[in-house]
Chain A
Amino acid sequence: EAGVTQFPSHSVIEKGQTVTLRCDPISGHDNLYWYRRVMGKEIKFLLHFVKESKQDESGMPNNRFLAERTGGTYSTLKVQPAELEDSGVYFCASSPRSRGLQFFGPGTRLTVL
Chain B
Amino acid sequence: ILNVEQSPQSLHVQEGDSTNFTCSFPSSNFYALHWYRWETAKSPEALFVMTLNGDEKKKGRISATLNTKEGYSYLYIKGSQPEDSATYLCALHLGDSNYQLIWGAGTKLIIKP
Complexed CA–CA distance, A41 and B104 (Å): 9
We find that the number of chain B residues with CB closer than 8 angstroms to chain A is: 24
Neighbouring B residues of A4 by C-beta, 8 Å: 43
A104 partner, pick from B44, B100, B102, beta carbons under 8 A: B44
Known contacts being A42-B104, A99-B99, is A91 close to B93, with CB within 8 Å? no
With the chains together, A4 CA to B44 CA distance in Å?
Answer: 11
* CA A51 to CA B34, docked complex, whole Å: 23
Does A3 lie at the interface of the complex (its beta carbon under 8 Å from any beta carbon of B)?
yes
Chain A residue numbers with a CB within 8 Å of B42 are 106
Q: Give the docked Cα–Cα distance between A44 and B100 (Å).
A: 9
Place the interface of chain A in its size category. Answer: 20 to 34
How far does the alpha carbon of A60 sit from the alpha carbon of B51 in the complex, in Å?
A: 28
Interface of B is mostly: strand
Main secondary structure of the interface of A (DSSP, over half): loop
A43 to B89, CA, bound (A): 9
* One of A42, A59, A105 near B100 (C-beta < 8 A): A59
Q: Which residues of A contact B (CB under 8 A)?
A: 3-4, 9, 31, 33, 35, 40-45, 48, 55-56, 58-59, 91, 98-107
Given contact pairs A42-B106, A99-B99, A106-B43, a sample of 14 additional A-B residue pairs in the complex whose CB atoms are under 8 Å apart: A4-B43, A31-B99, A43-B89, A44-B103, A56-B99, A56-B100, A58-B98, A100-B49, A102-B34, A102-B46, A104-B36, A104-B45, A106-B41, A107-B41
